[in-house]
Amino acid sequence: MTKNLENMTPPAGATAVVVLSDGSVFWGKGLGAETTKVGEVCFNTSLTGYQEIMTDPSYAGQIITFTFPHIGNVGTNDEDIETVTPSSLGCILRMDITEPSNFRNSQHFDDWLKKHDLPGIAGVDTRSLTRYIRENGAPNGVICHKADGQFDLPALLKTAQEWPGLEGMDLAKEVSCTQAYDWEESLWKIGSGYGQLENPKFKVVAIDFGIKRNILRNLVAQGCEVKVLPATATAEEILSHDPDGVFLSNGPGDPEATGEYAVPMIKDVIASGKPVFGICLGHQMLSLAVGAKTQKMHLGHRGANHPIKDLTTDKVEITSQNHGFVVDKDSLPDGVEGTHYSLFDGTLAGIRLKDKPVFSVQYHPEASPGPQDSHYLFKRFVDFMEAAK
């Protein structure tokens, strides 16, 4: 790392660089597409699931540092995706991409990155970068891959410094669907692939703020017929489908920015008496709708090893998380109680309304890190809908 960029010469063989907004520079070997991306640089501590992470719409506007050094070992396929077009901006790795060794592999991870016009960099001291983020917070930065190794570092630094950052940014509209659609695919099983909806028992409207496919699959697995609506859907549009319940999805960006149009909708849906379940961004905006406040975190929570305690069951779950904003636990109004808390730092990770069938969690129960520690939350949603019937 250095902050003197004017006359810096790239190390021998360097074909990619990461430049942070304070002038810190990380050199390495370029991977994926030859292109330049600017965004927030974060880190993820998961040992597996890199394809799911790269295709999670909640990573819109972010460059992902993987703390696990060996990425690519299971290759990629057309099944382990959370959305068709990745919203993440690129990846930072310690080692060269591992050769795939898995019976489900259909494409090398490097080729997959090129296919989606995503740059990558290997050979970075990711421990040093992760420590930097932990101490200084998630910075704005640029990742640039050029095979000729010629970089205009001052220009890259300027690009990083001029990027406005995620705070105040509404990204849900960018990753949301633009038209309503039905979802009937269920969970994956080895040997048979994904299942299909059979004998639907409930009608659920899911609001797409950047929804992950595996959330939809878990709803279908619980017997839900799911209609997905865009992020800008109104309460009138949602309730016109006469759903048994309404789901508020995960997504990227600042919840207050997206909440400008989503919070009024959520308030009206709550007032209708319909059961409501929110995850991640949906949790944050549900909290805003009932009078709580959100705030930007120092570095966020991103990984698949986060312990969460559910105060309603007194059990601890190992959870998957990906968020850079959090609900202020001291801002919960009367009638709303905190149900889940992080055992890492004590932050609020779940709420429920005391007098309505409305609840949410900050983490991702569909991501199966436990692997099924948190699947009960989908059953809880179904139980609310059953009781409402």
Residues 261-306 have pLDDT tens digits of 999 999 999 999 999 999 999 999 999 999 999 999 999 999 999 9
**Are residues 265 and 333 in contact, defined by beta-carbon separation less than 8 angstroms?**
no
Are 103 and 224 in a shared domain?
no
Q: What is the pLDDT of residue 4?
A: 74
364 is catalytic: yes
Residue 262 in tokens:
């989503």
Spatial separation of the C-alpha atoms in residues 307 and 289, rounded to whole Å: 27
Domain boundary among 107, 130, 162: 162
**321 is a domain residue:** yes
The catalytically annotated residue of 52, 145, 280, 283 is 280
Residue spans of the chain under pLDDT 50: 1-2
**102 is a domain residue:** yes
306 is catalytic: no
For a pLDDT cut of 90, what percent of the chain falls above it?
96
The catalytically annotated residue of 40, 42, 366, 375 is 366
Q: What is the pLDDT of residue 3?
A: 64
Residue with tokens 């930097």: 132
Are 89 and 200 in a shared domain?
no
Residue with tokens 């890259």: 156
Q: What is the pLDDT of residue 73?
A: 96
For residue 71, give the CATH number of its domain.
3.50.30.20
**8 is a domain residue:** no
Angle (deg, nearest 10), helices 281-289 and 255-271: 60
Q: Which residue, among 358, 355, 293, 351, has the nearest Cα to 325 in the 3D structure?
A: 293
**5 is a domain residue:** no
Domain boundary among 114, 142, 162: 162
For residue 384, give the CATH number of its domain.
3.40.50.880
Strands 294-310 and 336-342: antiparallel
Q: Look up the domain containing 372 and give its range.
A: 172-388
Are 315 and 376 in a shared domain?
yes
Q: What is the pLDDT of residue 228?
A: 98
Q: What is the pLDDT of residue 368?
A: 87
Spatial separation of the C-alpha atoms in residues 205 and 241, rounded to whole Å: 8
Spatial separation of the C-alpha atoms in residues 28 and 356, rounded to whole Å: 53
Q: What is the pLDDT of residue 389?
A: 86
The catalytically annotated residue of 301, 323, 340, 364 is 364
Spatial separation of the C-alpha atoms in residues 49 and 10, rounded to whole Å: 32
**122 is a domain residue:** yes
Spatial separation of the C-alpha atoms in residues 287 and 333, rounded to whole Å: 10
Which spans in the chain are helix H?
A: 50-54, 109-115, 126-136, 153-162, 172-175, 213-221, 235-239, 255-271, 281-289, 376-388
Q: Which residue, among 139, 141, 104, 137, has the nearest Cα to 121 in the 3D structure?
A: 141
Q: What is the pLDDT of residue 370?
A: 86
